[in-house]
Structure 1
Amino acid sequence: MALVRRHAPSFAFWCGPACFVVTAHPLDYEAVLTSRRFNDKSSWYPMLRAALGRGLIVLSGEPWRRHRKAVAPSLHQRVLAQNVQVFHRKARDVSDELLGPAAATGAPLDIKGFCDLVSMDAVCETILSADLSDDRDALKSFVDAKNDSCALVARRVCRPWLLLDLVYALTAEEREARRIEALTDRFVDEVIRRKRAERRDEGHADRQRSFLQHVLADSAAASLLSDEELREEAKAMVIAGEGTVANALSFTLLMLAMHPDVQQAVQQELQDVFGEDPGRGVTEHDLPHLELLERVVLETLRLFPLVAVFLRHVAEDTALPNFHMHRDPAWYPDPLRFDPDRFLPDQVRGRPPLSFAAFSAGPRSCIGQRYAIMYLKTVLSTVLRRYEVHRAPGDTRTVADLPVEIGVILSLDGGFPVTVSRRRETATTRSAESDAHLETINK
């Protein structure tokens, strides 16, 4: 960050034999991210394979085009709308399990534990059709494997001598990375085997399908990917999807805890949309009405973009420091102030299109953007109708004080400490009326 501020808007540096050109200007972003000349990702991306699989995130050229063609139909808005009911149910159940006891005692907790669990639970069901809600040990093991794998990649990138595969292969960390990769491969392979068997035995009667079921049901998509490629793509969707939405949810809840006036305004919007019943289910028809909540999410991602650096390859590697651009006072006056109104339509029109690039842009933009926004709005609207989040005792930090940790996915050093309280007396039982409401809306 200091180098970017000192040498902005652009500078270059060498790391071994590779030259990196760094830019923090939205027009440079647009020229690079929207150009097909920059479609290929940096040669550094293969280091992410152990953590994120060999899917769209790390692929380039013909394999990337083939994977994207196979995956894109499964992430259409109409398909994603089926996930809202799952997101709501997971948020309701896991918040009662983890936040309810914390609210009763008033003890501080790291909200990321809740966000990791609810996100992995929801992602496994909507991506893999694997309902792990009754198997918390398996769910936590998968979360731990994802976190450990990302940590190993981050440590490797920070040690230049380990960038050489021959050197890294001699280390205990490489053996641990392979162990974690084998664990996640076995889990996803077993799910795919089971889903293929279910399709043979039970036909195609499911009305609500996961990403995996859509790909298996689409003969054109299935023919584009081998079994190994399907496993890698599903694994990448789960690990990258869970990691990004879990951390985005953690940052958003922390921002609301630090800005109670914004939280109060969000809860008023939720009351306007959902009425007085905090148990009322969320449907896809509710989400467009949650305009302030969406601005809160976007403002959080402006301050804390989950992918802090994009890498592209053309004749040389070009590193794009997303983190700095989102905090540039040229585009965001008083940039460290949390202000969701920056994303009101008239404010957005006054900035270059790529002054906000939390999901990248152009041909290689994040294919899961709509999934992420839908997930965050559904989970937040469920949790915030039942609970309030507050600063942990003695925590007087501002946004500028938060110790950001840039790794595979942006996080905070020391976690996300908050306290929670019940917003009002809520029915913790599964409301028959709410379930009936969802069934009626979704028919």
Structure 2
Amino acid sequence: MVLFYALVFILILCILHVWFNYNKKARLMLSIPGPKGHFVVSDLMEDMLPPDELFDKVRKDAKKYDGIYRFWSYPYGAANIYNPEDIEIILSNSKYNEKSIVYKIMKPWLGDGLLLSGGTKWQQRRKILTPAFHFNILRHFSEVLEENSKKMAEKLDSGEDGILTLDIVPLLSEFTLNSICETSMGTRLDEEKEDAGRLYKKSIYDVGRIIITRSTRIHLFNDFVYYRTALGRSQKKHMDIVHSFTKNVIKERKKYIKEHGVELAEIINKEDTDDEVYAFTRKNKIAMLDLLISAEKDGLIDDQGIQEEVDTFMFEGHDTTASGLVYFLMLLANHRDIQKKVTAELDSIFGSSDRPASMADLARMRYLDCCLKESLRLYPPVPFISREFQESVVLSNYTIPAGMFVHIHIFDLHRREDLFPDADKFDPDRFLPENSAGRHPYAYIPFSAGPRNCIGQKFAMLELKSAVSKILRKFELHPVTRPEDIVFISDLVLRNTSPVYVTFVKRVK
């Protein structure tokens, strides 16, 4: 009898194996290079790893395969790509804009905000928010960023004998959160709100790790199952903290507008001198959130829509920029020759003056711009993006059937030797105009590309330039943590396992 049941069980497994791995979609997916796979579950066990091991495994896969490899475990399949030709096919065409399950898992957090929405809703939201990045608005934001950069630099000025060594991750995260709150949301994180801000940041980190863990566990894709697990309950707790923080931000801004009023169109259309625009914007305290509140009055968005966009901007606007700053300062500390060139450029612009940097000053920082681009190549704050196909598509001569995913591994794209010789080397000269000509337009995509590229990339570059230039005008950076010390983990944003230390030595002019 035992033997009979064993044979029945084996027969059922064989039937499932054939059903799961020999249907039309399975045959197409399994024709793509990939792991050997297991009986019935195929590639399921491959990615069920701790975050640091998963990150390392994906990097090894990128070296093993040639631009594309697969994941298949019925009913889910994904093509992992990191060559510019395939990436262009996906990102340049609006019919491939549908986000994959990885993003859908984020819906309880970001709802149908700009990152996750599609179709008409995405187009409408993008249209509402695009004026926030008008030149006159960015000019105002640059002043706010300069003020916050100055405050950050002052915190570094507390070392004994002008020398201070610290973990830069909390410092830079605080700077970017303060900056996005003031520019995007029109609120300052004063002492009364600092604890709430810290709790918000911690919850975002925890949620990111939870989402990545869930995305590699197929049995947790079902909401009914997931929210009855410890992981699901933990996510809900952190979501309550995150949403409470952003709801208070919206409430305060609406109160401010009711008391003071803001006319954003007047700023956007203003063609006066820099001083006149600056004076007007300082008086009226423009914020990105004002666009959403104005759109609500016009019936284009509701309270829930505002909440979705605020959650999206708060996450994308502070976490990714902080990541970019962390690795860039570490690189400059470890490459003193390049740091000296940046400092020389800044000295040529400012001399011995400690005046704030204007938009014109930031535009003149051309070598710093090359350095930032090279840092974002090596350490893209968003290391991968993902889409879901509504129709079949051919990538690298393999047919990916409708309903499957494609994961675009930006981290591996940026480190391809055929695109960037000696790819692991920090070499800002790659981005000098004479060296950039002829590079595939989709070989370098730290802010994504195509119709759904990052709406805030100009703002992000302003923030990065403002922060780094303010620090280097006052301090030399000396190495503590080295690039080879970094152990990355799989997350929504590029993160590592340990603190990142840099020594700041006050410059003597």
**TM-based fold match above 0.5:** yes
Could you say which residue in structure 2 is the equivalent of 1:209? 286
**Contact 2:70–2:80 under 8 Å retained in 1:** yes
Q: In 2, distance between residues paired with 1:344 and 1:162? A: 46
Task: Single out whichever of 184-193 and 116-125 deviates more from structure 2.
Answer: 184-193
Task: Single out whichever of 18-27 and 333-342 deviates more from structure 2.
Answer: 18-27
Could you say which residue in structure 2 is the equivalent of 1:404? 488
Mind listing any 5+ residue stretches in structure 1 that lack a counterpart? 426-443
Q: Which residue, out of 163, 171, 183, partners 1:126?
A: 183
Cα deviation per residue 1:326-385 (whole Å; 9 max; x = unaligned)? 000101110011001100112111311111011111111111111111110111111111
Cα deviation per residue 1:209-257 (whole Å; 9 max; x = unaligned)? 010123324578x532111110110121011210000010101100101
Q: In 1, distance between residues paired with 2:362 and 2:153? A: 20
- 1:111-150 alignment to 2 at 5 Å? 111-135=168-192, 136-150=194-208
Letter in 2 for 1:248: G
* Percentage identity across paired residues of the two chains: 28
Matching of residue 26 in structure 1 with residue 103 in structure 2: no
Could you say which residue in structure 2 is the equivalent of 1:200? 258
Query: How far has the Cα of 1:77 moved from its partner?
Result: 2.9
Letter in 1 for 2:360: H
Cα deviation per residue 1:152-181 (whole Å; 9 max; x = unaligned)? 222323433323322211122322222222
Q: In 1, distance between residues paired with 2:355 and 2:468? A: 14
Query: How far has the Cα of 1:140 moved from its partner?
Result: 1.9
Q: In 2, distance between residues paired with 1:298 and 1:196? A: 37
Could you say which residue in structure 1 is the equivalent of 2:444? 356
Query: How far has the Cα of 1:63 moved from its partner?
Result: 2.2
Query: How far has the Cα of 1:50 moved from its partner?
Result: 4.4
Letter in 2 for 1:266: V
Could you say which residue in structure 2 is the equivalent of 1:416? 500
Q: In 1, distance between residues paired with 2:159 and 2:495? A: 23
Q: Which residue, out of 63, 67, 79, partners 2:121?
A: 63
Check 1:23–1:34 CA distance in 2 against 1; reply closer, same or farther (3 A cut): same
Task: Single out whichever of 330-339 and 85-94 deviates more from structure 2.
Answer: 85-94
Mind listing any 5+ residue stretches in structure 2 that lack a counterpart? 1-58, 264-282, 390-401
Query: How far has the Cα of 1:310 moved from its partner?
Result: 1.4
Letter in 2 for 1:199: I
Check 1:2–1:93 CA distance in 2 against 1; reply closer, same or farther (3 A cut): same
Q: In 2, distance between residues paired with 1:119 and 1:373? A: 12
Q: Secondary structure at the match of 1:109?
A: strand
Could you say which residue in structure 2 is the equivalent of 1:339? 427
Query: How far has the Cα of 1:197 moved from its partner?
Result: 2.7
Q: In 1, distance between residues paired with 2:295 and 2:507? A: 44
Which one has a bigger Cα radius of gyration? 2
**Contact 2:153–2:470 under 8 Å retained in 1:** no
Matching of residue 327 in structure 1 with residue 407 in structure 2: no
Could you say which residue in structure 1 is the equivalent of 2:15? none
Could you say which residue in structure 2 is the equivalent of 1:276? 352
Task: Provide the alpha-carbon RMSD of the alignment.
Answer: 2.0
Q: In 1, distance between residues paired with 2:232 and 2:85? A: 39
**Contact 2:84–2:442 under 8 Å retained in 1:** yes
Matching of residue 307 in structure 1 with residue 382 in structure 2: yes
Query: How far has the Cα of 1:2 moved from its partner?
Result: 1.6
Query: How far has the Cα of 1:150 moved from its partner?
Result: 1.7
Could you say which residue in structure 2 is the equivalent of 1:165? 223
Q: Which residue, out of 304, 311, 315, partners 1:228?
A: 304
Q: In 1, distance between residues paired with 2:230 and 2:408? A: 32
Q: In 1, distance between residues paired with 2:107 and 2:475? A: 38
Could you say which residue in structure 1 is the equivalent of 2:42? none
Letter in 2 for 1:410: L
**Contact 1:103–1:419 under 8 Å retained in 2:** no
Query: How far has the Cα of 1:411 moved from its partner?
Result: 1.5
Check 1:53–1:144 CA distance in 2 against 1; reply closer, same or farther (3 A cut): farther
